[in-house]
Structure 1
Amino acid sequence: MRPRPRRLAFLALLLIPVLALSWRLFGPRGFSVKVEAKTWLYEIEVEKRVLETGSGWCDELPPGAGGVERRMIADPSGVRSGLAEHCRYTVAEWRKRWVAQASGPATEPPRWPTPQLADLPPEEIGAERAGKRTQRYLLQLRSERNGVDWNCQLPLEQWQRFQEGESFRLMVDRFSTANCASVPVR
């Protein structure tokens, strides 16, 4: 018995959505992306010496504490019996105040920024110093299907192996957040 042309057309129309749904559910995960650009970013935190206020038991004052005001109170923890001296004080501390940045494309050699620091001796209030340094190497990726962009930070060795224009598959969650750990190691 030969199938009729109408029956074949109906089966074909039914099969197309089933195949499309199967591809969507069971096909390759993620998006095909293209490397649009490679950039580097170097940062230096700049710390400033400032006066901070604090309070604590007078027998546990930090080194360099000044401007001490004393009062007698009971220790709620019970470590000190009866009344004990509690102090309010000021102390010089280094605190992060701003970040100096240098960035550029992969074609430029990475370089550290040169922050302009206050010209004061390090022990004076208002003095500045260079603090924590951070290096970041970024791939700027674009979905070839819908034009969505992502940035992935990679270790230097992995970042150097990619070329602009290169394509690969990137895993993306349902909230459209890229899983940068799925960038292939080359």
Structure 2
Amino acid sequence: MTVHGEPLQLGLRLWRWAWLWLAPLLLGLLYWALAPAGTAVRVAAMNWSRDIEVERQVQQLDSGWCDEMPHGAQAISRRKVDRPDSLPGGTAEHCRYTVLVWRAVRSLHSEGLAPTSPFWPPVPANALSSDADAGKERLGKRHERYELLLQSDDGQEWRCKLPMPRWQTFSTGQRLRLKVDRFGVADCSGIARVG
């Protein structure tokens, strides 16, 4: 004989066991949602560097369709070949040529630590060659890097590269929170001020 209350009691017992299993999971989720985000760190150092490329004009050997050579190029050799993008049986001249190009050969460099303000490296008066035989030189691209060295209380370190305006908003010794994933990789976009 089956008593109608037994399935009800069995269901209640299952719910009690389910709560015992779910409680730690729910507590973990609650901690994850409400705990302070990230790892406590301090700004151990703020470094910066700036570089200016020095480019030299050099002759470069290249090849291509003669009618598409760059301006100023000088043909060394020409030959008639089938041109794949033309009508069947169409030929065109293919050239080997030299052309003057600007190529980075060295750079001028400056670097430092905050509170020293970043500056571009000075260009000495004789830094650029204007001798046509040696190859004329000019200043080329500029590169800049701004980095925070962040350190946790247990000595772990992370480096975060930032744009200059954001980098300037921090100071050495400042306490911050840094989002770090379970593999120890920092999310530098998630730096938050403490307090």
Structure 2 gaps, min length 5: 1-23
Match in the other structure for 2:28:
22
After TM superposition, the structure 1 = structure 2 runs for residues 107-186 of structure 1, keeping only pairs within 5 Å, are 107-114=115-122, 117-121=127-131, 126-144=135-153, 146-184=154-192
Match in the other structure for 1:6:
none
Whether the aligned pair in 2 keeps the contact of 1:49 and 1:124 (CA below 8 Å) is no
Residues 66 and 185 of structure 1: is their aligned pair in 2 closer, same or farther, counting only changes over 3 Å? Answer: farther
Match in the other structure for 1:77:
85
Match in the other structure for 2:70:
62
Residues 80 and 143 of structure 1: is their aligned pair in 2 closer, same or farther, counting only changes over 3 Å? Answer: farther
Cα distance per residue 1:15-45 (max 9 Å; x no partner): xxx69x939x724443111100112211112
Cα distance per residue 1:36-92 (max 9 Å; x no partner): 011221111221212111111111111111242100111022258522111010101
Provide TM-score, normalisation by structure 2.
0.72
Percent of matched pairs sharing the same residue: 42
Q: Residue 182 of structure 1: SS of its match in structure 2?
A: strand
RMSD, aligned α-carbons: 2.9
Taking the aligned partners of 2:164 and 2:66, their CA distance within structure 1 comes to 49
Q: Residue 107 of structure 1: SS of its match in structure 2?
A: coil
1:41 counterpart letter in structure 2: S
2:182 counterpart letter in structure 1: R
Taking the aligned partners of 2:107 and 2:191, their CA distance within structure 1 comes to 29
1:50 counterpart letter in structure 2: V
After TM superposition, the structure 1 = structure 2 runs for residues 29-108 of structure 1, keeping only pairs within 5 Å, are 29-78=37-86, 82-108=90-116
Taking the aligned partners of 1:125 and 1:94, their CA distance within structure 2 comes to 13
The 10-residue stretch of structure 1 (126-135 or 67-76) with the greater mean CA deviation from structure 2: 126-135
Structure 1 residue 120 displacement after superposition: 2.1
Residues 44 and 59 of structure 1: is their aligned pair in 2 closer, same or farther, counting only changes over 3 Å? Answer: same
Q: Residue 22 of structure 1: SS of its match in structure 2?
A: helix
Provide TM-score, normalisation by structure 1.
0.75
Cα distance per residue 1:127-168 (max 9 Å; x no partner): 222111123222111122x31211212233332222211111
Q: Residue 103 of structure 1: SS of its match in structure 2?
A: strand
Over 6 Å off, 4+ runs: none
Whether the aligned pair in 1 keeps the contact of 2:175 and 2:193 (CA below 8 Å) is no
